[in-house]
């Protein structure tokens, strides 16, 4: 709940600043595009940098299913519901933006003693892996929604994939050169990779680099990601000065939460029922959804007006649903009164 409160307060300050300062159409400035891309790169690098490779190997089958079948299942479910109700052609890209589980929000849940160690491991790895997958998927979904031709999109996709591979290889070679040198060089390499990816939009290459380009002290990266969250929330507030689309946002948020329940039910067969319940109620949105909304606002006008209330809806439903589930579990565990 603390992150929800922080999000509301920072967004409110952004809205107030834009209203008092008469700021409009920020999404059409070149500085906005570069800054939002930089925030996205920081969040993406933070997601893959935080992946525990030992945990990934322990639950590799479930994680692979979650970030492939799970992401596609959730995206299709959300997009289908939103399009059937609203007919909005942006339903696909909206669905991708809110489909992932935010790893920073999940970090608070991981301290809950009611979660089994197995559920914590699966949830932590799931949220870390599906974050970069949905970011990359969002980029290509945006190209489809914007009406790119099939042949042109395919050629562009393969060209972009090749550039991302070259980027990842170049960062890997740099890392090999500096990994045994002064830690400062590792920080410089990571910073250069993030800035370069933001400038060139080579996000897939950056996501790959995060798996091996590990910082000596990850606390600096955690602070950078937290700062990116605050800055992106403030920027979102600046863009909300024109109002929100509350009805569409609530619909999108409810569909996203229901999609997680469906995906967990399908993917977690064989786990204890209590773990399946907790994983089904785990949907949260945070920095990734906020930043993706900023990135796509320029191409899809009014996008932030929908995503902002959707994020709020998802997180409020998460808090209410988990409190209800905890209360039900506590009542069930009480000894029966003697007759």
pLDDT tens per residue, range 224-279: 888 887 888 888 888 887 788 899 999 999 999 999 999 888 887 777 787 788 88
d(CA 13, CA 237): 7
Kindly list the distances between the CA atom of residue 304 and the CA atoms of 25, 183, 315, in Å, as whole numbers in the listed order. 13, 39, 17
238, 283, 250: which is closest to 71 by C-alpha? 283
Domain-wise residue ranges, the chain: 27-144+218-323
Model pTM score:
0.76
Question: Who has greater pLDDT, 193 or 295?
Answer: 193
Contact 244, 305 (CB under 8 A): yes
Render the burial of 146-155: b for 16+ CB within 10 Å, e for the rest.
Answer: eeeeeeeeee
- Which pLDDT tens digit goes with each residue over 31-68? 777 887 888 788 778 877 877 677 667 767 777 777 77
Mean pLDDT, the chain, rounded, equals: 80
C-alpha dist (Å) from residue 83 to 28, 78, 88, 136: 27, 8, 6, 22
């Amino acid at each position: 709940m603390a992150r929800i409160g922080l999000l509301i307060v920072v967004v409110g300050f952004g809205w107030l600043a834009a209203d008092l300062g008469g700021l409009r159409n920020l999404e059409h400035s070149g500085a906005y595009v570069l800054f939002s891309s930089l925030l996205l790169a920081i969040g993406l690098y933070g997601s893959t940098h935080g992946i525990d490779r030992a945990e990934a190997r322990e639950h590799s089958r479930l994680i692979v299913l979650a970030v492939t079948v799970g992401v596609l299942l959730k995206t299709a479910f959300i997009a289908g519901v939103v399009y059937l109700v609203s007919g909005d052609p942006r339903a696909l890209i909206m669905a991708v933006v809110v489909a992932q589980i935010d790893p920073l929000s999940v970090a608070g849940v991981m301290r809950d003693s009611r979660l089994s160690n197995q559920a914590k491991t699966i949830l932590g790895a799931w949220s870390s892996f599906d974050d970069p997958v949905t970011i990359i998927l969002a980029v290509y979904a945006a190209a489809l929604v914007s009406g790119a031709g099939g042949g042109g999109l395919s050629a562009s996709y393969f060209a972009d994939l090749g550039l991302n591979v070259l980027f990842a290889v170049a960062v890997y070679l740099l890392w090999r050169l500096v990994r045994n040198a002064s830690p400062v060089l590792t920080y410089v390499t990571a910073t250069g990779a993030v800035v370069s990816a933001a400038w060139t939009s080579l996000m897939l290459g950056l996501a790959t680099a995060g798996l091996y380009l590990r910082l000596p002290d990850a606390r600096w990266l955690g602070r950078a990601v937290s700062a990116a969250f605050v800055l992106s929330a403030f920027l979102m507030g600046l863009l909300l000065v024109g109002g929100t689309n509350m009805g569409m946002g609530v619909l999108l948020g409810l569909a996203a939460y229901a999609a997680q329940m469906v995906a967990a039910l399908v993917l977690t067969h064989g786990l204890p029922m209590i773990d399946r319940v907790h994983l089904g109620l785990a949907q949260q949105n945070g920095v990734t959804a906020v930043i993706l909304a900023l990135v796509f606002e320029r191409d899809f006008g009014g996008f932030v007006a929908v995503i902002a209330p959707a994020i709020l809806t998802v997180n409020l439903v998460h808090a209410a649903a988990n409190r209800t589930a905890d209360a039900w579990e506590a009542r069930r565990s009480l000894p029966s009164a003697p007759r």
